Structure 1
Amino acid sequence: MKMDSIEDDKSQVLDVTRQLTQLMIDKNTAAMNKILDANFTLTHITGYVQPKEEWFSEIESERMKYYSYKEVKITVKIDGDKAIFVGQNLLDARIWGTRNNWRLQQTMQLEKRNGKWIILKSVATTF
């Protein structure tokens, strides 16, 4: 695999993961749905594994409200049509009534399908 295509893939993965965070802030679950796998799950810092539809309803009802984020550190590893994204953000969000600047690390697994990167799952921890 040529270095160019790996760099292209890395920048596409960065684009789609940043897009997801922005769409969370915009409360745009319809657009989020286009870049998330049908069986996408979000594992919260509590360890709770949340199905996509449930997460979407919490965003829409603002039980989970995202305000802004600041990137701290990001890494992307590409392996063929699979990718692992690790992003550390300071995320300003209100989750189930508690607003905080969360030091959130998200580890996302992605897969390239028909030339587009799809997010399969995301696991959140603190850093």
Structure 2
Amino acid sequence: MKMDNIEDDKSQVLDVTRQLTQLMIDMNTVVMNKFLDTHFTLTHITGYVQSKAEWFDEIESEQMKYYSFKEVKISVKIEEDKATFVGQNLLDARIWGTRNNWRLQQTMQLEKLNGKWIILKSVATTF
């Protein structure tokens, strides 16, 4: 793979992951769904593994309400048609009744399908 292709892929992965975070704030699960695999799971900082459908329900009911994010540090690794994104954000969110500025690290696994990067899963930890 050529270096410029890797840079293009990194740029596309960053674009997808940033759009996802903005869509969470916008509560736009319809467009979020286009970026997420059918079997997408979100692992919360508690270790709870949540399905895409359950996560979307909680966004729509505002059990999980996202207000804003500030990017702290990001990295992307590309291997062929797979990517690992690690992003550290200060995320202003109310999760199950607790509002906080969370020091959230998201590790996302992505795969390039039909020329588009799709997020397979995301694991949240604190940093």
- Equivalent residue runs for 1:14-93 within 5 Å: 14-93=14-93
Give the TM-score of the pair, scaled to structure 1: 1.00
Q: Aligned partner of 2:9: which letter? A: D
Identity %: 87
CA distance in 1, matches of 2:60, 2:95: 13
Helix, strand or coil for the counterpart of 2:62? coil
Runs of 4+ in 1 over 4 A off after TM superposition: none
Shift of 1:126: 0.1
Give the TM-score of the pair, scaled to structure 2: 1.00
- Render the CA deviation track for 1:53-76: whole Å, top value 9, x for unaligned: 000000000000000000000000
Helix, strand or coil for the counterpart of 1:25? helix
Q: Aligned partner of 1:119: which letter? A: I
Helix, strand or coil for the counterpart of 1:34? helix
Instruction: Check if 1:10 corresponds to 2:14.
Output: no
Root-mean-square deviation over aligned CA pairs: 0.2
CA distance in 2, matches of 1:35, 1:55: 14
Helix, strand or coil for the counterpart of 1:62? coil
Structure 2 alignment gaps of length 5 or more: none
Structure 1 alignment gaps of length 5 or more: none
